[in-house]
Amino acid sequence: MPASEITSVQNPRVKEWAQLRERKGRDSQQRYLVEGPHLVEEALRSRAPVVSVLYALGRSVPPGLRELAEPGVEWIAVSEAVLAKLADTQTPQGVLAVVERTPFSAEQFFRVKRSLVVVLDAVQDPGNVGTIIRCADAVGADGVVLGRGTADLYNPKTIRSTMGSLFHLPIVEADLGDILPRASEAGACIVGTSLQAARSCYETDLTQPVWLVFGNEGQGMSARTASLVTDPVIIPMHGQAESLNVAMAATVLLFEASRQRRHARG
């Protein structure tokens, strides 16, 4: 079946898709936009629930995309004006996808024997959130929990920063005041960084079930969240820098957890 075409920015479907550029529209439709050949390919390859692929009229579909798609995916050729209206980047990359949100529940994390979960407490910068998700994916973490005040997962900047990792692991939104006590009751250690901690992250057993909590860029963890941390740790620094960016701190702890777990397996 030949793909349909849409050329007018006044088309009702274009107006509907344009709402996905804002959080309100994404929440209302329970869908989001993915932009660029790499991210669209990752969405299709990961069997994300892609509804439609929009590509530039007069250009061919990027190689390999059709072969990755599920049978029900809709292919629509659109004008450059439509792409410009929908794209978040200044120079549209010629292809976008409309993707349905995938509902995950934090309940699944409680069933993992030696869970490694990343928790973000009001981390506001989309680039930091995306980078941390990418790092969690890189070490094989079981999932990510986004607390209140954290940047929207489906913000285009967050999506770009994940480099496709949002399609590879469960990511849930939750009230940390509810979920962290439950994780602790299930046997997980709630680890958070603190300059007052007595132990370094290298002296802490990260092979057991661990939920790693990271706080806001400027304020750190809220008092409420900090009170739920069972194992405060410090990242030793031997130079003159006072602290690390939250994404850098997450990278250090995640790869230390990964190192310990690989070593424990022998």
* CA pair distance 225, 35, nearest whole angstrom: 35
pLDDT tens-digit readout, 71-126: 999 999 999 999 999 999 877 789 999 999 999 999 999 988 899 999 999 999 99
pLDDT tens-digit readout, 183-208: 999 999 999 999 889 999 999 999 99
Reported as a pLDDT band with limits 50, 70 and 90, residue 212 is: very high
Name all domains of the chain by residue range, CATH numbers in brackets.
4-100 (3.30.1330.30), 107-265 (3.40.1280.10)
* Contact (CB, 8 A) for 120 and 144: yes
Residues in Cβ contact with 9 at an 8 Å cutoff, skipping those fewer than 6 apart: 79, 81, 82, 85
Q: What is the mean pLDDT of the chain?
A: 94
Q: Convert 91-142 into a string of H (helix), E (strand) and C (coil).
A: CCCCEEEEEECCCCCCHHHHCCCCCEEEEEECCCCHHHHHHHHHHHHHCCCC
Reported as a pLDDT band with limits 50, 70 and 90, residue 15 is: very high
Position 264 scores a pLDDT of 82
Reported as a pLDDT band with limits 50, 70 and 90, residue 129 is: very high
* CA pair distance 249, 195, nearest whole angstrom: 12
- Residue 209 corresponds to which tokens in the numbers above? 């079930």
